[in-house]
Structure 1
Amino acid sequence: MRYIGAVQAVVTADLFDREPTAAELDAIEREMPVILAGVELLDAQITTLNRTPSELDARRIRRAHRRVLAARRELANGSITIAGVGA
């Protein structure tokens, strides 16, 4: 069996093959508190999938949901500062 392959290497990289830019990395860094709060909420919800949620589970989910809302509010208000930037 013969394999048909490219004769030349690709000269320019696709958009999907590139590294994130500094601006994209900064945006991810600014959104990291929201991402982490969302992961915490998802973790709290996943733990209750296979059982009936107890009062402790309900409190954990409510607390995680409040953290998500607070992180989103801080991001929207621009009050999240990155180390070395802002006051």
Structure 2
Amino acid sequence: MKHIGALQAVVTADLSDREPTGVELDAIEVEMPLISAEVELLDVQISLLDRPASELDTRRLRRARRKVLAARLELTNQLAPMTGVGA
């Protein structure tokens, strides 16, 4: 079997190999409540894939959806003054 590989050293760094910058980490931190709410909603949706939803499951799903909407609204309200939206 013949090995196929690069014969020369890489000249430029691959962008996927770098660590996130401080600004990117700050943006993730600001969005973390929304990310967490979306993960919770996804967990509920996955749990309902293979069985019919009971009344309790329906409430959990509705609560998770409301949590995502509230997190999106909060994030939008935080970012609106920075972007000039609604001014």
In the TM superposition, structure 1's runs of 4+ consecutive aligned residues that sit over 4 Å from their partners are none
Q: Match for 2:71: what amino acid?
A: A
Distance 2:45 2:14 in 1: 38
Structure 1 counterpart SS, 2:5: coil
Cα distance change of structure 1 residues 4 and 50 upon mapping to structure 2, 3 Å threshold? closer
The equivalent of 1:57 in structure 2 is: 57
Give CA-to-partner distance per residue, 1:21-73, whole Å, 9 cap, x none: 11111111111100100010111111111111000000000000010011111
The equivalent of 1:20 in structure 2 is: 20
The equivalent of 1:29 in structure 2 is: 29
Q: Match for 1:41: what amino acid?
A: L
Name the TM-score, length of structure 1 as normaliser.
0.80
The 10-residue stretch of structure 1 (57-66 or 18-27) with the greater mean CA deviation from structure 2: 18-27
Aligned-residue CA RMSD (Å): 1.6
Cα distance change of structure 1 residues 4 and 63 upon mapping to structure 2, 3 Å threshold? closer
Give how far 1:11 is off: 2.8
Structure 1 gaps of 5+ residues are 80-87
The equivalent of 2:78 in structure 1 is: 78
The equivalent of 2:84 in structure 1 is: none
The 10-residue stretch of structure 1 (18-27 or 29-38) with the greater mean CA deviation from structure 2: 18-27
Distance 1:26 1:18 in 2: 16
